[in-house]
């Protein structure tokens, strides 16, 4: 069997026949095939030439792959190279994404219908009649991609801008003339770096999430769906019958989608809050510039590592801290309602209490993939006050019944506050007091508009005869 030459070139070329060394290949990818590395400043040429050959070869290969993706796949001027992100995500889960068997799909559909029957007794929000879909990890990624774009692109805009600015500042003066307009090149570099890192994070989430609403956002629209492989992995080690685990997970997914379906303002409020938070970010450029100065040119993964370490994590302003508190409150109310309603619907499951506690801890702590995503976009989607919110909904259910409890979702102005989470028993009294104050104000305003206060003379403006001295 014929073997490739020692240089591993299939065509048999060696260094003498092909004078393009790894550094030349890398810079050709960066600056075009017409670029001659001999035109580099001597000190830079010497620094690059002193690198270990194996490291240079690896750098060339990685740079070639990345820059090729930049040139071919970043057809838009957006802040994220989404083609590269999708390819990177696919690499994370492609080898572990089996198609669910027909029997598995049938079991999920059957459990979905049973879950809907049980939920009918736990909430007034009706099902839209659609059975829970059975997804592969790739299907979950495809179904949720449009929402991820809304959530992450405002962050990516700032990150890409920061990378572009920082990298431009590090270009030696001798090279700036050769590079011409480097803005586009570094913009592509930033969008590709962010795309690769985001793809890694989303690929990790694809291997961890249980369904379309698992992290609190309606990522896949209004149709419930489960990632079959992930649900099976979640059930391992719980020592609970697989069918019971499956049913409990479906109850949660279907409860989420009922809520988002029947409360039309909730999805837009939630996604809008995330978008607003993301748009208001700013990045500490001094930290970025300092880190970029220390990047090892022989390690093109340095910048990706900095992304993962949170170098570009947005610095929060006071307004954003307040926005984050409101977002966490909304997430807690959603998760608390689902937790409470599912506990009612699953009352007949032998391991319902155990599964409830497992889910609570899972949502409160998150996992490695969720942490990676949070470090990248500077936003944790965790309901920190889930238990307090569940206690509030339980109190309202006892006090008002199912219909009265769910009526709280009728309008955003009726929603519980952080104070209500701390004192559920005082919720109704506070609402009655606020309503009374509003009624008094409304009555006074109506009287004023009707001229009802015209007959009341201001104090000090009494008729002169009342102010005369009776002795005179």
Cα(131)–Cα(226) distance, integer angstroms: 11
Q: What is the pLDDT of residues 160-175, one digit of tens each?
A: 777 677 666 666 666 6
Cα(351)–Cα(392) distance, integer angstroms: 23
Residue 18: left if φ>0, alpha if ψ -120 to 50, beta else—which one?
Answer: beta
Cα(137)–Cα(281) distance, integer angstroms: 31
Whether 298 shows a pLDDT value over 80: the answer reads no
CB 370 within 8 A of CB 205: yes
Structure tokens at 264: 């039309």
Cα(153)–Cα(157) distance, integer angstroms: 6
CB 388 within 8 A of CB 422: yes
Average pLDDT, the chain: 76
The larger pLDDT score, comparing residue 154 to residue 336, is at 336
Split at pLDDT 50, 70, 90, the class of 1 is: very low
Structure tokens at 219: 């990522």
Structure tokens at 458: 């201001």
Q: The pTM is what?
A: 0.74
Structure tokens at 457: 């003379």
Structure tokens at 1: 């069997």
Cα(29)–Cα(402) distance, integer angstroms: 64
Please give the share of the chain, as a percent, with pLDDT higher than 90.
39
Cα(224)–Cα(161) distance, integer angstroms: 37
CB 240 within 8 A of CB 287: no
Q: What is the pLDDT of residues 352-404, one digit of tens each?
A: 999 999 999 998 887 766 776 777 777 778 888 999 999 999 999 999 999 99
Whether 16 shows a pLDDT value over 70: the answer reads no
Please give the share of the chain, as a percent, with pLDDT higher than 70.
62
Cα 215 from chain centre:
8
pLDDT of residue 458: 53
Domain spans, the chain: 22-73, 82-382, 388-449
* Total residues belonging to the chain: 472
Whether 462 shows a pLDDT value over 60: the answer reads no
CB 335 within 8 A of CB 386: yes
- Integer CA distances (angstroms), 243 to 104, 118, 247, in order: 10, 15, 6
Q: What is the pLDDT of residues 34-91, one digit of tens each?
A: 445 455 444 444 444 545 555 544 444 555 555 555 555 444 568 889 998 999 999 9
């Amino acid at each position: 069997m014929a073997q490739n030459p020692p240089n591993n070139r299939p065509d048999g070329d060696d260094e003498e026949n092909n004078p393009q060394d790894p550094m030349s290949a890398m810079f050709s990818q960066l600056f075009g095939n017409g670029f001659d590395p001999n035109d580099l400043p001597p000190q830079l040429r010497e620094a690059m030439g002193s690198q270990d050959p194996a490291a240079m070869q690896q750098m060339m290969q990685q740079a070639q792959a990345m820059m090729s993706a930049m040139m071919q796949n970043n057809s838009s001027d957006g802040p994220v190279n989404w083609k590269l992100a999708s390819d990177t995500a696919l690499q994370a889960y492609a080898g572990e994404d089996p198609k669910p068997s027909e029997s598995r799909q049938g079991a999920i559909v059957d459990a979905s219908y049973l879950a809907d029957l049980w939920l009918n007794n736990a909430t007034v929000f009706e099902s839209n009649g659609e059975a829970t879909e059975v997804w592969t990890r790739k299907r979950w990624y495809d179904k949720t991609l449009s929402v991820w774009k809304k959530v992450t692109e405002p962050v990516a805009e700032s990150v890409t801008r920061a990378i572009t600015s920082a990298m431009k500042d590090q270009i030696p003066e001798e090279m700036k003339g050769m590079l011409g307009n480097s803005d586009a090149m570094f913009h592509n570099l930033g969008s590709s770096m962010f795309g690769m890192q985001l793809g890694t994070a989303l690929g990790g989430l694809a291997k961890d999430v249980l369904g379309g609403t698992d992290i609190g956002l309606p990522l896949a629209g209004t149709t419930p769906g489960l990632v079959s492989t992930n649900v099976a992995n979640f059930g391992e080690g719980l020592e609970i019958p697989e069918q019971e685990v499956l049913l409990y997970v479906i109850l949660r997914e279907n409860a989420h989608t009922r809520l988002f379906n029947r409360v039309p303002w909730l999805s837009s409020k939630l996604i809008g809050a995330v978008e607003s938070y993301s748009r208001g970010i700013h990045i500490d450029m001094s930290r970025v510039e300092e880190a970029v100065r220390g990047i090892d040119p022989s390690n093109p993964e340095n910048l990706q590592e900095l992304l993962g370490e949170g170098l570009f994590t947005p610095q929060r302003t006071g307004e954003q801290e307040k926005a984050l508190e409101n977002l966490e409150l909304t997430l807690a109310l959603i998760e608390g309602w689902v937790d409470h309603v599912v506990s009612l619907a699953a009352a007949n499951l032998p391991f319902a209490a155990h599964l409830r506690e497992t889910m609570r801890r899972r949502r409160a702590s998150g996992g490695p993939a969720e942490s990676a995503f949070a470090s990248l976009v500077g936003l944790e989607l965790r309901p920190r006050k889930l238990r307090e919110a569940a206690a509030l909904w339980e109190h309202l259910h006892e006090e008002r019944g199912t219909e009265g409890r769910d009526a709280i979702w009728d309008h955003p102005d009726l929603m519980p506050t952080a104070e209500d989470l701390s004192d559920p028993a005082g919720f109704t009294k506070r609402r009655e007091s606020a309503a009374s104050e509003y009624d008094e104000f409304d009555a006074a305003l109506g009287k004023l508009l009707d001229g009802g206060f015209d007959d009341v003379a201001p104090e000090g403006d009494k008729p002169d005869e009342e102010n005369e001295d009776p002795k005179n």
